[in-house]
Amino acid sequence: MTETSSRRTDTRTRIVETAARLLQERGPAAVTTRAVAEAAGVQAPAIYRLFGDKDGLLEAVAEHTMATYVSAKAAVVAAASSGDVDPLEDLRDGWAGQIGFGLAHPALFHLMSDPARAAQSPALKAGREVLRARVRRLAETGRLRVSEERAAELIHAAGVGTVTALLTTPPADRDPGLADAMLESVLAQILTETTELKDDAWVAVTLRAAAPQLEVLSAAERSLLVEWLDRVIAANP
């Protein structure tokens, strides 16, 4: 990296971090090019050169903040996978962390809840992969009774809905047990009560989680097995 490129990167990082602080402390209305430029110690034209406009700057702020958070979550899941952490407890911890993050960063949450923005966000896509990794660990232990995709979507939707409901309620009126109750409701839909054999879908979901690691089969055989299992799962919603 040249000295010029390095300075440009440092300037961009300083601007993003400054804008993130203003967003957190004062909300989106405070993130003006003038306010950010003054706080970051740069000229306003630098922001336009680097981000195009205020929306471009907000996109960068959202990605930076979410990417940092998701990276930390991914490290936690990786550590849990290689240790003795119970998959269900790991999921509960992840849920609590996600709800807490949304409540602590309301402006960022509203930005990233925009469907158009969310569909294009690398950080949010990475976050969904972290959730899928947690769900897969449950499937591998035989505790999942719906497809991994459906379980992840239910958890994600419940999380977004919970944070939205809490943020639109005055803090003094919020139900402190809402988040836990919502998670338990979702878990009741996606988990088996025991790991005893239940039905075809339970068997398929459990084997589906292990199929990609069955090295005794060829890649083509694993692909075919996954196709068959997905068909069984789809037939037993």
Type and span of the H or E element at 18: helix 3-26
In whole angstroms, what is the distance from residue 129 CA to residue 17 CA? 25
Domain limits, the chain:
1-52, 68-192, 197-237
> Residue 144's closest CA among 222, 84, 72, 202?
202
Residue 85's region, left for phi above 0, alpha for psi from -120 to 50, else beta, is beta
Cα angle 179-168-152, degrees, rounded to a multiple of 5:
40
Q: 141 versus 207: which is more confidently predicted?
A: 141
Q: pTM here?
A: 0.73
1.10.357, 3.30.420, 3.40.50, 3.30.110: CATH of 68-192: 1.10.357
Predicted local confidence at residue 197, as pLDDT: 47
1.10.10.10, 1.10.3720.10, 1.10.10.60, 3.40.1190.20: CATH of 1-52: 1.10.10.60
42-86 pLDDT, tens digit each: 998 999 999 988 888 888 888 888 888 888 888 888 887 777 789
Q: Residues in the chain, how many?
A: 237
pLDDT of residue 196 exceeding 80, the answer is no
Burial class (CB in 10 A: 0-12, 13-18, 19+), 48: middle
10-36 pLDDT, tens digit each: 889 999 999 988 888 888 888 888 899
Token pair for 190? 């996606």
Q: Which residues contact 93 (CB under 8 A, 6 or more apart)?
A: 76
